[in-house]
Structure 1
Amino acid sequence: MGNGTSAVVDAAQRARVAAADLAPLARATKDAALHAIAAALENRTAELVSANADDVARAADAGTSPAIVDRLTLTAERIAAIAADVRHVAGLPDPVGEVLRGSTLPNGLDLRQVRVPLGVVGIIYEARPNVTVDAAALCLKSGNAVLLRGSSSAYSSNTALVAVLRDAIAAAGLPADAVQLVPGESRDSVTELMRARGLVDVLIPRGGASLIRTVVEGSTVPVIETGTGNCHVYVDAAADIDMAVDILVNSKAQRPSVCNAAETLLVHRDIAARFLPRALDALADAGVTVHGDPAVLAAAEASGTKAAVIAATDEDWATEYLSYDLAAAVVDSLDAAVAHIRRWSSGHTEAIVTSSQPAARRFTQLVDAAAVMVNASTRFTDGGQFGFGAEIGISTQKLHARGPMGLPELTSTKFVVTGDGHTR
């Protein structure tokens, strides 16, 4: 093995030892470590801002877009907010040890299924250095060791952050190796992490579609796929038009660069003539460009809307824009809307606006997604909004965890069976 390979394997082996030490720790011990992390972030803010400045300067020199540079940047205010988030995680219930089900069997055996940590969690993520701290805090609270592989664009920031985290948890009595930055800046280190089956228990990719696809397709370690969001808003024939316009604009334009923003509008033909003129004008006011099917283009021309409407292609139905763009189509029925969603959805969040309970019920039964909204914005698919306090990501797969992943989703279970000399 080359140096990069052995360094990654060595880090994973040390994480495995640390995970075994973390698993039995009491909540108070873990919470004390999280409070120590928050204090250390605040006390070493100048050091962190200085390290981050190196990354920001490199990104600017490379011609990186202002939006990405902004996501990369750490300020004193942002570090204070990150520290507050860590304290918030400390205040959340500890999932470890929770009994999910239990019974006394007819033969007298006592059976309990309890939550336990996953073990070693690898996180592969892009530019945002705040993810370094968020992921570490959530993993520690749930009793897991974490291997962090951020993007090379944030390497100086992440190196400094992980140094602060390790010092803080070591001072609080936790193994420093419970939090590690995966060694190396090359793609080789990512590949080694993805192939560390038996040392790493699960990988969670956080980032764009291409990163997630690379990890899902190339990893021998089990992967929890966090989602790209090709999310739809379906306006039913029985929709309240005012409500539908508000939900649509919020879903699309409140923050278009996130995975729970709407990317496609579907409108029932029976309401299209009344709804589309209002909707197109409201989208125009929000700065949204609409990529419409022939029926939407015809409605735009007939209404004289001020909206920018261009012809949609099949590529538009498949696109997660993450921008002020929206695909739009008129459909003949609720079932036609469901068929469109089944073909193009990424399984993240789908919404229906309707005053018909039968329509709402049928939509929620037929649509296959991590979250289905009835008369609510797609933007609510979020761990904080769901009351989970924090999330490691939003899972669009079906195994183990689906939807916003809070602390319970960072655990597995074990069965504890207690007998009194029982033999079979």
Structure 2
Amino acid sequence: MTESVLDYMTRLGRAARAASRVVASASTAQKNRALLATAEALDAARGELASANELDLAAGRANGLEPALLDRLALTPARIDGMIEGLRQVASLADPVGAIRDMSYRPSGIQVGKMRVPLGVIGIIYESRPNVTIDAASLCLKSGNATILRGGSEAIHSNRAIAACIQLGLAAAELPAAAVQVVETTDRAAVGALITMPEFVDVIVPRGGKSLIERVSRDARVPVIKHLDGICHVYVDALAEMPKAQAIAFNAKTYRYGICGAMETLLVDQAVAAAFLPAMEQMFVEKGVELRGCQRTCALIQAKPATEEDWSTEYLAPILSIRVVDGLEQAIEHINRYGSHHTDAIVTEHQGRARRFLAEVDSSSVMLNAPTCFADGFEYGLGAEIGISTDKLHARGPVGLEGLTCEKYVVIGDGQLRGQNA
């Protein structure tokens, strides 16, 4: 009799729950051994990884996948290098599990503090990028969690090849194979099962398009760490240094169009717009970026008139919205109204305006004199990231090791009894 998707996912969930108890008590050395052995396995399997990835790319081209999605799907030698480096960097990071902070004596004589502990079992649902398999597995393992990984059907061959390397790493460290499980079925019912198993799964992290994240947020019976959009802004202040501002704005948009930290709207103070925008127009046009602007922008450069919808659109493409604003206050108002609480930057040499922007913009990352594309766990020193959360509860911004743990109170006494001093 063929196993149903629900029965299959239940089996994975039960195995993950059992494995989570083993991983939670594993030593730092044991977890690092698994990570470094996985890195060695990836390095040795470059040929197998490339062959598996080519199967996925060929199927993607045949199915008419857009160039941006094919780019996300590709496992280039440089990306395999990045996966290996990510594993080594996570292995080098401090282990958060078991750390105790803020121990203090209370009037009763007891000591109270907090210990950092794993979340348990983390379900991760993602699309296109097979390197997420390694990012997710490494962070979950180092933070003492078991994980169930459900990648997109378009990357199934790549994910299976990567999973084989992870299993070699786990075996080398004598950790249970179920500590990291990649869902083998491409049936969409697997997602529905994964997000409705609170008895086996403690948190869900969806990484992908807006429709996926909206569906998971709507249907999940398990807590979700998520972000919906990356509508990121760069605001060029009247007191910005122009060459610096031009370089930052250009890099924020063109570093990579398909990342959630790419700038989608450029805001420019009206006092410097006439001096700033023509040079930017030339740079962007030469790069093939389509410009859409407000009325004041269109009066200064060649741009299509921007619609109201443009201000709240994540393009993930060589398209940029530009708005000329009256100053800092209008820039902050625009960002808080149209932004997605992801990443926003100000370019200015004025300390007071910079501090006000950093304090009042309601985003998970706010930046001064730096491009928004720096919003990345690797760049933040987290080793890798499980995703970038725009939620305000539990984790916000790039979610690394600490975001995959929580705290419990630790109370140490020596026989004190409550009420004895009353």
TM-score interval, normalised by the smaller of the two chains? over 0.9
Between 1:119-128 and 1:384-393, the stretch displaced more is 384-393
Match of 2:339 in 1: 345
- Tell me if the contact between 2:86 and 2:383 (Cα under 8 Å) persists in the aligned partners: no
Matched, 1:358 2:358: no
Query: Any idea what SS the aligned residue of 2:303 has?
Result: strand
Give aligned pairs, total: 417
CA distance, structure 1, for counterparts of residue 295 and residue 323 of structure 2: 8
Matched, 1:61 2:62: yes
- Tell me if the contact between 1:15 and 1:145 (Cα under 8 Å) persists in the aligned partners: yes
Match of 1:303 in 2: none
Compute the displacement of 1:80 (Å): 4.4
Match of 1:332 in 2: 326
Distance 1:45 1:333, change over 3 A: closer
CA distance, structure 2, for counterparts of residue 261 and residue 187 of structure 1: 29
Query: Any idea what SS the aligned residue of 1:284 has?
Result: helix
CA distance, structure 2, for counterparts of residue 262 and residue 93 of structure 1: 32
CA distance, structure 1, for counterparts of residue 260 and residue 101 of structure 2: 31
Compute the displacement of 1:76 (Å): 5.6
Matched, 1:11 2:5: no
CA distance, structure 1, for counterparts of residue 300 and residue 44 of structure 2: 58
- Tell me if the contact between 2:113 and 2:411 (Cα under 8 Å) persists in the aligned partners: yes
- Tell me if the contact between 1:264 and 1:317 (Cα under 8 Å) persists in the aligned partners: yes
1:375 pairs, out of 369, 387, 410, with 369
Match of 1:184 in 2: 185
Residue pairs, 1:145-224, within 5 angstroms: 145-224=146-225
Residue pairs, 1:264-275, within 5 angstroms: 264-275=265-276
Q: 2:338 is aligned with what amino acid? A: W
Identity among equivalent positions (%) equals 48
Match of 1:314 in 2: 308
- Tell me if the contact between 2:90 and 2:382 (Cα under 8 Å) persists in the aligned partners: no
TM-score of the pair, normalised by structure 1: 0.93
CA distance, structure 2, for counterparts of residue 365 and residue 417 of structure 1: 36
Distance 1:133 1:399, change over 3 A: same
Query: Any idea what SS the aligned residue of 2:268 has?
Result: strand
- Measured against aligned partners, the alpha-carbon deviations of 1:135-156 in whole angstroms (never above 9, x if no partner) come to 1111111110010000011112
CA distance, structure 2, for counterparts of residue 30 and residue 223 of structure 1: 25
Distance 1:416 1:158, change over 3 A: same
Match of 1:50 in 2: 51
CA distance, structure 2, for counterparts of residue 49 and residue 235 of structure 1: 43
CA distance, structure 1, for counterparts of residue 60 and residue 175 of structure 2: 35
Q: 1:326 is aligned with what amino acid? A: L
- Measured against aligned partners, the alpha-carbon deviations of 1:224-254 in whole angstroms (never above 9, x if no partner) come to 0135210111112222222221211111112
Residue pairs, 1:234-249, within 5 angstroms: 234-249=235-250
TM-score of the pair, normalised by structure 2: 0.94
Distance 1:374 1:46, change over 3 A: closer
CA distance, structure 1, for counterparts of residue 67 and residue 357 of structure 2: 40
Query: Any idea what SS the aligned residue of 2:165 has?
Result: helix
Match of 1:305 in 2: none
Unaligned stretches of 5+ residues in structure 1:
301-307
Match of 2:254 in 1: 253
Distance 1:7 1:298, change over 3 A: same
CA distance, structure 1, for counterparts of residue 387 and residue 196 of structure 2: 22
Match of 1:118 in 2: 119
Compute the displacement of 1:67 (Å): 3.8
Query: Any idea what SS the aligned residue of 1:25 has?
Result: coil
Compute the displacement of 1:188 (Å): 0.7
CA distance, structure 2, for counterparts of residue 80 and residue 237 of structure 1: 42
Unaligned stretches of 5+ residues in structure 2:
none
CA distance, structure 2, for counterparts of residue 399 and residue 265 of structure 1: 29
Distance 1:357 1:79, change over 3 A: closer
Distance 1:320 1:287, change over 3 A: same
Query: Any idea what SS the aligned residue of 1:321 has?
Result: coil
Query: Any idea what SS the aligned residue of 1:299 has?
Result: coil
Q: 1:69 is aligned with what amino acid? A: L
- Measured against aligned partners, the alpha-carbon deviations of 1:7-51 in whole angstroms (never above 9, x if no partner) come to 112211110110011111110011111122122223333333333
Match of 1:138 in 2: 139
Distance 1:24 1:209, change over 3 A: same
Distance 1:343 1:423, change over 3 A: same
Distance 1:103 1:391, change over 3 A: same
Query: Any idea what SS the aligned residue of 1:421 has?
Result: coil
Match of 2:414 in 1: 420
Compute the displacement of 1:206 (Å): 1.1
CA distance, structure 2, for counterparts of residue 279 and residue 54 of structure 1: 40
CA distance, structure 2, for counterparts of residue 390 and residue 272 of structure 1: 37
Matched, 1:295 2:296: yes
CA distance, structure 1, for counterparts of residue 32 and residue 127 of structure 2: 27
